[in-house]
Structure 1
Amino acid sequence: MSDALKQRIVAQRERIDDDLVALSNRLHGDPELGWQEHRSSAAVAAVLASHGFAVEQPYLGLETAFRATLGDPESAGFTVGFLAEYDALPGLGHACGHNLIAAMSAGGAIALAAVADELGIAVEVIGTPAEEGGGGKIELLERGAFTELDLALMAHPAPVDVAEARPFAVAHWHVQFDGVAAHAAAYPERGVNANDAFIIAQTAIALLRQQLPSGVRVHGVQTRGGEAPNAIPERTEGRWYVRAETMEQLLALESRVLRCFEAGALASGAKLTVTSESKRYAEMRTDAEALAVYRANAVALGRDFDVPPEAATMNRASTDMGNVSAVVDAIHPYIGVGGEASNHQPAFADACVGPIAEQTLRDGATALAWTALDVARTRGHSA
């Protein structure tokens, strides 16, 4: 019986293949940054609406979030949520493949809809903005999203297939030093050099790394360093991430890194302002049983998880899906698009369109739908 149901899911997905590829290509060709994904979120929602989903957008007060539903969660025996991401990276477009995430989640939901009603499965797609540092899923969680789901799932592009996500917990900071401008040659003694503050802070962080626990990551970029070589910089700015294995470890680590920035302010005389860019991302609590089901389904489709460990490290990337997994059973596998490029490289954006990416899209949508079906049949009340 399950084979017959899965074949119906495949048949449904094949009927919408052209729509899914067109959606992925449209998002890829028109990348939008976090919280600004107005055209992208509307495009994903429109595809779902055209296949019978009821769409609520904006969702929970967030302009670029949406919720698309098919079936009634209150009367269903099982409710599955496919999570869609569609934000791009500054200067890199879809070099993390969120165009494929959105299309795979939409495709998986539409494909599952072919059998959902008769099995008592309610299907949702939740459009989640600003994953790239904005914490869109956390904002949705705090407004009541996801809690009605029995399973939340999505698949993320990577160079190779990796089943289990093991993301770091992460804090995202905007760092700013304010000093006093002055002519660097004529009146240097009148200045307070905000760039010196950043140099001291980065040097302190570099030295601190020797004493940090294995696996901790501290990294960032200076986005503003000054305006002219003959003017002492009045303001400098940067974006910094602190990552750790768990939220508990992250909280203990943050004060040590903050002291490095405070050292820059103390030594230079500049004023320090540190602002969180989002809520902290948590580590992932994977539903091991559901993940095993996904892996078996992906293998059945010809996906290969036998890859060198050094090629499989994208699963350590932080994601706000970790916060969702703290309250709902969830999986976040990685699905390969091939090639030599890795996420957040310009060439990876190129790898997220074209024939190989389209096969990844088909496989991902099918594997997600099959997994939702299998888990629902095991755990659902009427499936």
Structure 2
Amino acid sequence: MELRESNIKNIIFPIEFNHFSGGMIHSVMDLAEALTENYNVYILANKEAEVLKFNNKIKPLVLKTNWSISINKPIKTLKTYYKVRQLLKTFNKKNTIVFTNNVGSELIFSGFGFLPAIPLNRIFVSRGGCYEGKTGYFIKKGFSSIKHFVATSKHQSNILENIGITKSKITIINNGIDINRSLGYHYQFQRKNRIRLSIVGYISENKNQILAVEVLKTLIKKEYDVELNIYGLAVADSDKKYKNKLLLKIKELELANRINFKGFESDVKNIYENTDILLSCSLSEGFGRVVAEAMGFGIPCVGLKQSGGLNDIIINNVNGFLTSTDKNNIVGKIEELINKSEIRNEISINSINSYESMFSKKIMIDKYLNFLKTKVV
């Protein structure tokens, strides 16, 4: 099929956060950086945002105030809406696309479903969430002014369909991860040493680190010499409360000497060379970037089937394990990986093959370029 010449010249990515941590921002910035080869790419962020320094090929659109997107702060939120609208008034609707990647920016650009939408075509990338509650009400109203949606997994596509988005408007494009093969790290399971489980992501109720701690305790009771590395930070106030619960659980189970809080780690090599098995206890994932990343290093992964997005990544018993939230089921899969080298090695090899055939950054970029040239013209 011969591709038509796209009318799109400018692509804008709004980023509401100052920090540069978390899978969502990394996925957005990987895409933004790659698209600079074909488009004028802009990042819309406030002046303190780390992403404005990400790549000099990406053009900054600086909002001279912090984003305020909260139903509980309607006046500040409306000011953000008008400031964004004013900042973008010189862009032409015919040759500009906005990728909204978060409910916050989508609320602003849609005018909350009752104000005039900011007059630029936009694509909403559904990276997570189910669009329920008060915020979901305004999001769904605003969705009516979008022609195209991208879902990062079948799970997110189903969520969009369930809230009334026509299937023909949705394109599924999994996130892609750039793994530097020159890092020199190759997976080697050190059975004779203490076995290192790792869980990676924000410390939060959804990421469910307490379940990982309970799994660790059960393995120790079975006389396995294991420890747990927890990578990530508690950022929001609700996450900090959850971390306090997590610390209490660790104290209650007397596991302080078996758990290592590693904080935010920007160098993925440092994570995976200190990991024998990756554990994902997330209750809901729009995709599951960390799991795909670990698989690229050949790390065997155990995740929850109910998370949704991991079903696009893990083929159960082939390149990893999907299980229920029952800690004993999770323990059983970890025991298989510890005790059966043939299963562990097969999963490690299949993990790398899955990454290279489905989840590399190049594959993601090729899919987005095809999407822009065939559907967004």
Compute the TM-score of the two structures, normalised by the length of structure 2.
0.27
The structure, 1 or 2, with the larger RCO (C-alpha pairs under 8 Å, 6+ apart) is 1
Compute the TM-score of the two structures, normalised by the length of structure 1.
0.27
